[in-house]
Structure 1
Amino acid sequence: MSAQQNDPSFANVWQELRWRGLVHVSTDEAELEELLAGDPVTYYCGFDPTAPSLHLGNLVQLLLMRRLQLAGHKPLALVGGSTGLVGDPRPTAERTMNTKETVAEWVGYLQGQVQRFLSFDGPNGARMVNNLDWTAPMSAIDFLREVGKHYRVGTMIKKDIVATRLNSDEGISYAEFSYQVLQGMDFLELFRSYGCVLQTGGSDQWGNLTSGTELIRKAEGKSVHAIGTPLVTNSDGTKFGKSEGNAIWLDAAMTSPYAMFQFWLNTADTDVIDRLKVFTFRTRAEIEALEQSTAERPHLREAQRTLAYDVTSLIHGIDATEKVIAASAALFGQGELGQLDEPTLTAATAELPAVTLPAGTPTIVELLTASGLSASNSAARRTVSEGGAYVNNVKVTDPEAAIGAEALLHGRYALVRRGKRTLAMVEVEPA
Structure 2
Amino acid sequence: MNFLTISLMAILVTGVIAPSLQYSNADVLPPNHQVDIGISTEDVVCDSGLYKVIRAANSSIACVKAKNVLKLIANGWATTVDKEPIDEEVLNTIINRKSIDLAQINILETVALKTQTGTAASGKSVSNYDVIFEICAYTPIYAPDVNVASDSETKHYELANLIDADSCVISVTKIKATDPTSIKIILLNKGDISEKVVMLQNELDSLKEQLTTIRSSLKVTDPDSQKQGVKIAELRKQINDKREQLHRTLFAIHLPSTAKDKIGEMTFSGNVIEGNSASVLSVLNATQTPGLYDAIFEVCAGSTTIKLPVIKVTSDKQSQTIKMGDKISANSCQMTSVKIEANDKSTISVTPAGNADSSNKASDLEVRINSLQASMIQEKQTLKSLIHNPDRPENFVELVDTHVIKIIELRNQLILAKAEFSKIMYQTYN
TM-score by length of 1: 0.23
Give 1 or 2: higher strand fraction: 2
TM-score (norm 2): 0.23
Determine which structure has the larger helix proportion and give its number.
Answer: 1
